[in-house]
Amino acid sequence: MKLLTRYILKEHFLPFLYALLIVIFLLFTNFLLRAVDRFLGKGLPIDIILEYLLLNTAWIIALAAPVAVLVATLMAFGRFAEDNEITALRSSGVSFTRILWPALTFSILVAVPLMMFNNTVLPHMNHNARMLARDIYRKRPDLNVEAGYFIDDLPQYSFIVKGKKGDRYQDVHIYGKDRTVTQTSIRAEEATFRPLDDAILVTLYDGEIHEVEVTNYQNYRRIIFDRHRIIIPAEDLTLQRRETGSRSDREMTLNMIHEKISGYSERVSAIEERIEKEFEFNFPDTPIPPTMEDLIIMVKNQKEIEKEETISDPNRPISKSQDLENLSMRVRTDYQMIAGYERSINRYTVEIHKKFSLPSACIVFVLVGAPLGIMTRKGGFFTAIIFSFGFVLLYYLFLIGGEEMADRNYLHGAIAMWMPNIVLGAVGIVMTYQATRERTVFQLPSSRKKGKKHSK
DSSP string spanning 401-423?
Answer: HHHHHHHTTSS-HHHHHHHHHHH
**Using CA of residue 306, residue 307, residue 311, residue 317, what is the dihedral sign?**
positive
Q: What is the largest CA-CA distance in the chain?
A: 107
Q: Domain ranges in the chain?
A: 2-132+352-450, 140-238, 254-345
pLDDT of residue 315: 59
Q: Tell me what pLDDT residue 283 has.
A: 65
CB 232 within 8 A of CB 200: yes
Calculate ∠ Cα 145-191-199, nearest 5°.
Answer: 65
Which class for 455: exposed (0-12), middle (13-18), buried (19 or more C-beta within 10 A)?
exposed
- Between CA 81 and CA 83 the distance in angstroms is 5
CA-based nearest residue to 244, from 254, 234, 258, 256 = 256
Contact 127, 247 (CB under 8 A): yes
pLDDT score at 318? 52
Collapsing DSSP to helix, strand or coil, 449 comes out as helix
Give residue 310's pLDDT.
62
The helix (run of H) or strand (run of E) holding residue 171 is strand 168-176
- pLDDT tens per residue across all 456 residues of the chain: 688 888 889 889 999 999 999 999 999 999 998 888 777 655 677 888 888 899 999 999 999 999 999 999 988 888 888 888 888 888 888 888 888 899 999 999 999 999 999 999 999 999 888 888 877 765 444 446 777 778 776 778 888 898 888 888 999 998 888 777 788 899 999 999 887 766 788 999 999 998 888 777 778 888 999 999 988 876 544 435 556 667 888 889 999 999 999 999 999 888 888 878 877 777 676 667 766 677 667 767 766 776 666 666 655 555 555 666 667 777 778 888 888 888 889 889 999 999 999 999 999 999 998 888 887 765 555 666 777 778 888 888 888 888 888 877 788 888 989 999 999 999 889 888 887 776 444 444 444 444 444 444
* pLDDT confidence of residue 21: 95
Q: What are phi and psi of 94, to 5 degrees?
A: -85, 120
